[in-house]
Amino acid sequence: MFLHIDIDSFFASAERSVNPKLKGIPICVGSRSNLEIFNKKRTYIKLMNNNAGAFVTPVFYSDKKKTFENYFVDEIDGRKKIRGIVTTASYEARKKGVKTAMPISQALQLCPEMKVIPSNYPLYHTLSTKMHAFMRAHMPKVEQYSIDEFFADVTGWKSDEEVYAFAKMLQEKILTHFDIPVSIGISKAKWIAKLATESAKPYGVFEVKDINAYIEDIPIKDFPGIGKGFQKRLEGHYIRTLGDIRRKKSLFDSWKKPGLQLYARVTGTDNEQIESKGERKSIGISRTFDAIEGSDELKRRVMIMARHIIYMVMELEASPRSYYLKINYEYGVKVKKTLTVDRVFSERVYKTLLSEMYEAISHPQKRAIKLSLNVSNFSASKRITLSLLDFDEDRKDLELHKNIHDLRTRFGLDIIKTGNEL
């Protein structure tokens, strides 16, 4: 039997666990695109990467104290403007119509009495890590799926008849130990257990005993992994519920691997097991900002974001070979470029090649609003043939940048910058 443990309104619950005065009132945790990294003054930004699994994103942060005024409010031409979006809303706020990803200014119109709390990702990551360890101490097989979700397999350890009572006991223990509410779904199939958690919320336990009966009327959009594009494809075949999927096996067989996998997951016949912490297959960072003109400032921001990518790569001791850069301009204009190289990764190599990529696709006459950088194809996990022409120089660069990385770890990521960041 599988359990899926989902922390209820995690960020809001985490804030309540350290400040009980927030209990019982409408609250939300808000965030905004962290543009602090582009400051020309030192910000002492650090990296939290406690959960290095494939599904838990590293977090850049500074020790600067956040308040509503200094984090969410900008003053433009003498007028104050509230920025940011809702990351997590408590159930009290949700009853007033507040939703995830809603602009905070709009959320406050719906619920003026709501208390808006600036995000505190170090707190959330620390709690998530501790809860993962707690669950591993209470169950033999545990998989962290995201910062606030966990799978567990108790097959052969608890009988089917015991699982529901065990889940209730685990739920109570987590609440007592962490003051954090969780909801738990139970099923003989992993992804049905995840689906069942939605039936358990908030702070409940729900066991699926008859998968076919349970999925019959559930809309396809509610199943994990069915995005909007796939929804349209399914609706084109008059498939609107999970029960419709179950009755059209031959259609999904014709779609080969993606169709076979989805059909098996929806019907609970996938036999997927608990996975150990996955290796990170890529590292990315993106930032959205007010439209800026001019190539120099945009390129400076690319190089600053590159420094943060470099720091994460050095932390993982990886050597990515594929680089990706995307620039979003106003009015839906997007340009992107990818590059794969057989070079030892270092700050000099990455920034030099990234600069060339930028020059190849940038439009200085347009106003940019978003940058996205990503590196992937890590050579640490596979054998490759490196460029012999550059190998000696690249190795020297790598040793130098290991020393620079140590300094950034001790004193902040912006203790050392390259000239193209200034």
43-47, 67-71, 352-356, 362-366: segment of lowest average pLDDT: 43-47
Give domain status of residue 205, yes or no.
no
Give domain status of residue 183, yes or no.
no
- Stretch 87-106: mean pLDDT: 96
> Which of the listed ranges 54-68, 267-281, 385-399 does the model predict with the highest average pLDDT?
267-281
Query: What does the pLDDT read at residue 279?
Result: 66
List the CATH number of the domain containing 21: 3.40.1170.60
Query: What does the pLDDT read at residue 324?
Result: 97
Tell whether the model's pLDDT for residue 307 goes beyond 70.
yes
**Does one domain contain both 342 and 265?**
no
Separation of alpha carbons 284 and 338, rounded Å: 13
**Does one domain contain both 303 and 339?**
yes
Query: What does the pLDDT read at residue 391?
Result: 62
Give domain status of residue 126, yes or no.
no
**What count of residues does the chain have?**
422
68-82, 103-117, 211-225, 345-359: segment of lowest average pLDDT: 68-82
Higher pLDDT, 238 or 77: 238
Which domain range does residue 382 map to? 282-421
The pLDDT tens digits for 142-191 are 999 989 999 999 999 999 999 999 999 999 999 999 999 999 999 999 99
List the CATH number of the domain containing 253: 1.10.150.20
Tell whether the model's pLDDT for residue 54 goes beyond 50.
no
Give domain status of residue 307, yes or no.
yes
Query: What does the pLDDT read at residue 381?
Result: 46
> Do residues 114 and 102 touch, judged by C-beta distance below 8 A?
no
Give domain status of residue 391, yes or no.
yes
Share of the chain above pLDDT 70, in %: 94
Residues 6+ apart with CB under 8 A from 111: 26, 93, 96, 97, 98
**Does one domain contain both 336 and 415?**
yes
Tell whether the model's pLDDT for residue 226 goes beyond 70.
yes
CA torsion, ordered 316, 319, 322, 328, to nearest 10 deg: 40
Tell whether the model's pLDDT for residue 385 goes beyond 70.
no
**Does one domain contain both 239 and 353?**
no
- Stretch 370-394: mean pLDDT: 70
**Does one domain contain both 268 and 291?**
no
pTM over 0.75: yes
Tell whether the model's pLDDT for residue 63 goes beyond 80.
no
Separation of alpha carbons 29 and 56, rounded Å: 18
Query: What does the pLDDT read at residue 107?
Result: 97
Pair type for strands 182-187 and 205-207: parallel
Separation of alpha carbons 371 and 64, rounded Å: 24
Separation of alpha carbons 401 and 398, rounded Å: 5
Query: What does the pLDDT read at residue 331?
Result: 92
**Does one domain contain both 262 and 288?**
no
Domains held by the chain: number: 3
Dihedrals phi, psi of 247, to nearest 5 degrees: -85, -5
List the CATH number of the domain containing 368: 3.30.1490.100
Averaged pLDDT score across all residues of the chain: 90
Query: What does the pLDDT read at residue 124?
Result: 93
Tell whether the model's pLDDT for residue 52 goes beyond 50.
no
- Residue that finishes a domain, picked among 89, 119, 149: 119
Share of the chain above pLDDT 90, in %: 65
**Does one domain contain both 233 and 293?**
no
**Does one domain contain both 257 and 309?**
no
The pLDDT tens digits for 244-300 are 999 999 999 999 898 999 999 999 999 999 986 666 778 899 998 989 987 899 999
Give domain status of residue 254, yes or no.
yes
Tell whether the model's pLDDT for residue 228 goes beyond 90.
no
**Does one domain contain both 308 and 386?**
yes
Angle, helix 10-18 to helix 121-138, in steps of 10 degrees = 100
Give domain status of residue 175, yes or no.
no
